[in-house]
Structure 1
């Protein structure tokens, strides 16, 4: 089993991405059907199959972050990319079929963007032992041909909590999660801890847009906008949203209230063209460099040494970070740097559950 030894730091975070195609694309909602696109540079390049989560390339968040890594690999190595996108109505059989379709067509690696692919990938990887698979945000146990790409979302979210506590004027902030699953609970846990460690008296309102197997909370900007508006009406003036493209709606709502701040997620949302009219209200973003993990996997397959096992991209290796675009957190940088150092050094243990 080969493990990640070094994560190249990133000029990758704001390039055009496309799972995390969170950075580029429209503000649109969910795709109703599987969509695919393939491009070929001919010959000896890579042949990558990508199964995006709901929202797909163009969600300006999670999927776009993954897409940036795919695009970087394609630009460097040439070859062919096949992209399919999940629906909010997907069943386990749909996910199995999507991954199987890519593997049968000879794509290698096949990458599932999002925890929802964990069970289906375990099944499909067993049927295609010579194909390399990768999954973002989950761990597929017992598979020796899967690269489990995971991040310390709670650590980046802790820093967002520090920033929120230092910037709130009302001592009231909010957290909006897409779906109340363990992964998004990590974002909430880190954020709340960061707020409370910095300023214990600040009130934190958490809210989730959908529950259980209903993944619509990741692709419903209208729900994100309504949730954020409710928090603003109740006195919150800083709102952090970890909800895929639903976060676009939350940012829009925050931008409508003078003095309020939005905190973005996964990609540097200040630099998203589709959110440009709201960027003066985007305090920072918790950037999750999914692109680095995805690129590392593709390169390892190209080099003939596929990554397998669980490969973690923590704060210490720039797997997660706070964006500084706009300069809105420059005045609190010393306190953020202090908190980051304490996390990296192990002085602060960030919770993964609220």
Structure 2
């Protein structure tokens, strides 16, 4: 109940900020002096119930939108940028409508969970520019599809795991099975196998992006059964993976266990008494994509009905150096260039 109450306050807070924003938006020039804030298109995000502070996918997008808004001299609110965080899946349609009704020029749906809601809402607001992350909806003229090639960055994570594992047992923990998470799993397994054919990859799904306790339990079983590197693509559920690794390292400092983060640099999430369990993190530049779509909308060039792909070549995805060895970094750099040059192709779906 406590969690539900805090989420409700966030939604109420948005309503208040929308009202206050109408009275106090900043109309001054941005830092570069190139544009008046009133001329820039307003942008709103609708997150799923994992939350805007999930230390992953949603948070990266919100941080990118905040940076864009500040760059253009805008304030959080109805005349600038804002977000609504869902309490449950039943909120998605209402939240999309709320931002549209409050006049946001561009409304971004954060992830595949909002597909059905956006399919219903977008035709109701033909003058609103909508965008959705990781879903292709080319049949809708006022919807831009922002698709990340997570399989490419996940492949590099697989190379990192294959080069680092001592036990030759690594794990993949996904949040909820979907086409978007399929890309993470498929790329990771391919990367592990190409760098270390002897390594075994164990795959488990939490069934949710917001169940850190179950994520922790799955990680515990994997570590107990010999895995020493786990890649989590599980949103807030992935925080449980970090928690389990840190607990074990605090209890047995000489044991070497690793977690590979997802969507943003998760070095901080891996901090424990004597160091960090974060080996590296795959980067999903949702913030950059939000800024890209906001700029296109402001310039009158909104790509409605188009699918925009963000991969390694576009700097849409990537991998941090983290605590990788020089040998691993060298191999990762070589594979990265091969992917950009299209000399190797990366799977988008796991083999059955």
Same fold judged by TM-score > 0.5? yes
Separation in 1, partners of 2:188, 2:233: 11
- Structure 1 SS opposite 2:206: strand
**When you count helix as a share of all residues, which structure comes out higher?**
2
Aligned to 1:69: 64
1:332 aligns with 2:316: no
Alignment of 1:244-323 (within 5 A): 244-255=235-246, 256-257=248-249, 258-270=255-267, 272=268, 275-277=270-272, 280-308=276-304, 309-323=306-320
2: CA distance, partners of 1:69 / 1:145: 22
5+ long unaligned stretches in structure 1: 1-27, 211-216
Q: Give 1:106 deviation, angstroms.
A: 0.5
Q: Does 1:50 align with 2:45?
A: yes
Shift of 1:302: 2.0
Match of 2:179 among 167, 177, 182: 182
Deviation at 1:328, TM superposition (A): 2.9
1:46 to partner: Cα distance:
4.0
In the alignment, the residues of structure 2 paired with residue 67 and residue 329 of structure 1 have an alpha-carbon distance, to the nearest angstrom, of 32
- Partner Cα separation in structure 1 for residue 142 and residue 291 of structure 2: 17
Note the alpha carbon deviations across 1:256-312, whole angstroms, 9 max, x for none: 242011000000001x4x554376210000110001110111122222222331111
- Whether the aligned pair in 2 keeps the contact of 1:174 and 1:240 (CA below 8 Å) is yes
The answer to whether the Cα contact below 8 Å between 2:270 and 2:278 also exists between their aligned partners in 1 is: no
Distance 1:353 1:205 in 2: 16
1:350 correspondence with 2:346: yes
* C-alpha contact 2:45 2:83 (8 A) present in aligned 1: yes
- Confirm or deny: 8 A CA contact 1:57 1:63 kept in the other structure: yes
Number of positions where the alignment pairs a residue of Structure 1 with one of Structure 2: 315
For the aligned residue pairs, the C-alpha RMSD in angstroms reads 2.0
**Residues 1:248 and 1:115: Cα distance change in structure 2 (over 3 Å):** same
Higher relative contact order (CA 8 A, sep 6+): 1
Question: 1:30, 1:225 → 2: CA distance?
Answer: 24
Cα deviation, 1:79-102, whole Å, max 9, x if unaligned, reads 422311123x413xx322211111
1:130-153 per-residue CA deviation (whole Å, 9 max, x = no partner) reads 111111111223111111111100
Alignment check: 8 A CA contact 2:160 2:332 kept = yes
Task: Give 2:166's aligned residue.
Answer: 169
Q: 1:329 to 1:29 in 2, by over 3 A?
A: farther
Match runs of 1:26-175 below 5 Å: 32-33=7-8, 35=11, 36-37=13-14, 38=17, 41-43=25-27, 44=38, 45-77=40-72, 78-79=74-75, 80-87=80-87, 89-91=88-90, 94-175=91-172
Q: Is the contact made by 1:30 and 1:54 (CA closer than 8 Å) also made in structure 2?
A: no
- The answer (yes or no) to whether the contact 1:68–1:291 under 8 Å persists in 2 is yes
**Equivalent residue for 1:220, pick from 211, 228, 238:** 211
Q: Deviations over 1:11-42 (max 9, x none)?
A: xxxxxxxxxxxxxxxxx899654625346643
Distance in 2 between residues matched to 1:29 and 1:268, nearest whole Å: 28
**Normalization by structure 2: what TM-score?**
0.84
SS at match of 1:315: coil
CA distance in structure 2 between the aligned counterparts of 1:209 and 1:165, rounded to whole angstroms? 23
User: How big is the shift at 1:330?
Assistant: 3.8
2-structure distance, mates of 1:30, 1:203: 43
In 2, are the aligned partners of 1:65 and 1:290 still within 8 Å (CA)?
yes
| Cα separation, 2, equivalents of 1:324 and 1:234 | 28
Q: Kindly tell me: are residues 275 and 204 of structure 1, through their superposed partners in 2, closer, same or farther at Cα, counting changes over 3 Å?
A: closer
Q: TM-score, normalised on structure 1? A: 0.84
Native 8 Å contact 1:264 1:284 kept in 2: yes
2-structure distance, mates of 1:168, 1:296: 37
Indicate conservation of the 8 Å contact 2:285/2:317, yes or no: yes
Per the alignment, in what secondary structure is the counterpart of residue 276 of structure 2? Answer: helix
Structure 1, residues 76-127: CA drift from partner, whole Å, max 9, x if none?
A: 121422311123x413xx3222111110110110111111112221221111
